[in-house]
Amino acid sequence: MSGFEGWRAVPSHVSYEPLTPTALLDRAAEVHAERLAVVDGDLRLTYRELHDRCLRQAGLLRGLGVEPGDRVAVLGANSPLLLESHFGVLYAGAVLVTLNIRLAAAELRHILEHSGATVLLHDPEFAELAEEIGGGLRVVGPAEHERLRAEAEPHRVEADERGLMALNYTSGTTGHPKGVMYHHRGAYLQSLAMVAHFRLTPETVYLWTLPMFHCNGWAFPWAVTAAGGVHVCLRRVDPAQVWRLIDAEGVTMFCGAPTVLISLLEVAPPARGRRVAVAVGGAPPSPSLLAGCERAGLDITHLYGLTETFGPAAICDWRPEWNTLPVAEQAVLRARQGVSNLVSCTIRVLKDGTDVPRDGATLGEVALRGNTVMLGYYRDDEATRLAVPDGWFRTGDLGVLHPDGYLELRDRAKDVIVSGGENISSIEVESALAAHPAVLEAAVVAMPDEHWGERPIAYVTLREGHTVSPEELRAHVRARLAAFKAPDRYEFGPLPKTSSGKIRKNELRARR
């Protein structure tokens, strides 16, 4: 018998198991059964208890008529409900739809309708909002959830590793957000990449400052579980509470946007001996921010990615030889987006379809592919085709590659404003402004903001004979969009245009 024939003789089930994040909890419940898994105020759960709750949540969903492939939406903060749903919904064979609690009711209703969700689970603080947006859905509040779960039998459905696992909606970089389709394989591998890059172990105590509804918390619900670490829930980022939990629970790591770090440093306690690892994404950390974090005992690692790439596709992998460089040079290096993560393919930067030279100067569009790229956009084949024209996902971000292969972003191909880690579509805000009867046309661009990184500023041309105040326009936008999308400043007057009638946004940015 040849070696090839011998290999073929091995039963497939011996050498293959579907890659799915629920396998990580299965192992944790076996290996770390009595170890602490979740902290939420006075609530303390072991991995055995977390495993049982998640399996019973799957049974609960089955009892509600949820079939494999059905969509289950969750409206929650960084709570045990949202954490457990990252496993329970998957055990049920259903598709997890985490809702951004910062969005307006109309935006959330669109996501529920577009996703085709049939069940909506929610935390107690969102009961009123859940009822407002949940028309036609089976809305399950916390008390009913607890009762039904206690009555349910543990349940699981075998996963297809390339099957649809979750729908994560973009922050609306074009009018309506797009539903990004995640698969089990990508989530599993991204989890292992985070375990490796951040050296997660059973001693890891992870504080949930990053919203779990953002790209499924960059896969950390599954990564921390894979390592047998502790999840410390935090429903709202209150700087004083963050520092208290860091000391009280022995936190070793958290993630967030630069704005989170800025708020923490405003109330930072005296430097302590113990260090805390921090993964930062959404915008490059400034040199002054990095210096402040160093003094506060926070060790920063910069990440880069998109909803379409399960969160971090690139990591600014720190090289030991850089430790001897002057602090100013280290800050420049730390602010770069970095290299592909452990399970991603090498990052490409393309100009006219060709790779740019690694000279740190030639600008091109960032292109990605690999195990942690989305299946596509849900119910939007055209958008999928445009995003992946040739087997490489086009990010819409412009950057350069340095001689060492590290990526550095220089601009955005689209006019997206990144404010506190949240994407704001200039087109969406402009449309809301244009709906005001006094507005003839409007253009929205980003202005630098010390706290949020960027904030929108609106340039508005009024209709002849009309007047309106900035306060009125702000209220008008907030009535239609999430509050954080409303511009902070309003400038009135004619807009600069090209000969073809296009607004010169570059000139508007120069006015800031």
Confidence class of residue 6 from pLDDT cuts 50, 70 and 90? low
* Stretch 289-313: mean pLDDT: 92
- pLDDT of the residue at 411: 65
* Stretch 187-201: mean pLDDT: 98
Other beta carbons within 10 angstroms of residue 162's beta carbon come to: 13
All structural domains of the chain with their residue ranges: 22-256, 416-511
pLDDT winner (highest mean) among 31-40, 285-294, 500-509: 31-40
Confidence class of residue 412 from pLDDT cuts 50, 70 and 90? low
Cβ-based burial of 260 (10 A; exposed 0-12, middle 13-18, buried ≥19): buried
DSSP class of 455:
E
- pLDDT of the residue at 510: 82
CATH number of 416-511: 3.30.300.30
User: What angle do helix axes 22-31 and 184-197 make, rounded to 10 degrees?
Assistant: 50
Confidence class of residue 10 from pLDDT cuts 50, 70 and 90? low
Interval 473-496: pLDDT, tens: 999 999 999 999 999 999 999 988
- pLDDT of the residue at 91: 98
Is residue 291 predicted with pLDDT exceeding 60?
yes
Give the whole-number percent of the chain exceeding pLDDT 70: 95
Output 505 or 404, whichever has higher pLDDT: 404
| The two structure tokens encoding residue 3 | 């070696």
User: What angle do helix axes 220-227 and 80-91 make, rounded to 10 degrees?
Assistant: 90
- pLDDT of the residue at 240: 94
Helices (H), 134-256: 142-151, 184-197, 215-218, 220-227, 239-249
Output 417 or 7, whichever has higher pLDDT: 417
Q: Do domains 22-256 and 416-511 have the same CATH topology?
A: no
Is residue 154 predicted with pLDDT exceeding 70?
yes
CATH number of 22-256: 3.40.50.12780
| The two structure tokens encoding residue 374 | 């989305």
Interval 167-189: pLDDT, tens: 999 865 445 789 999 999 999 99
Average per-residue pLDDT for the chain: 92
Residue owning tokens 């060709």: 354
Interval 306-320: pLDDT, tens: 999 999 999 999 999
- pLDDT of the residue at 501: 52
- pLDDT of the residue at 413: 63
Is residue 456 predicted with pLDDT exceeding 80?
yes
Cβ-based burial of 507 (10 A; exposed 0-12, middle 13-18, buried ≥19): middle
Give the whole-number percent of the chain exceeding pLDDT 90: 74
* Stretch 354-375: mean pLDDT: 96
pTM over 0.95: no
Is residue 512 predicted with pLDDT exceeding 80?
no
Confidence class of residue 422 from pLDDT cuts 50, 70 and 90? confident
Other beta carbons within 10 angstroms of residue 30's beta carbon come to: 11
* Stretch 67-85: mean pLDDT: 98
- pLDDT of the residue at 283: 72
- pLDDT of the residue at 499: 41
- pLDDT of the residue at 502: 59
Confidence class of residue 1 from pLDDT cuts 50, 70 and 90? very low
Instruction: Kindly report which listed range (149-158, 173-182, 382-391) carries the lowest average pLDDT score.
Output: 173-182
As a whole number of angstroms, the distance between CA 456 and CA 458 comes to 7
Q: Cite the beta strand spans of 30-136 per DSSP E.
A: 36-40, 43-46, 71-75, 95-98, 119-122
- By C-alpha distance, which of 260, 213, 256, 204 is closest to 232? 204
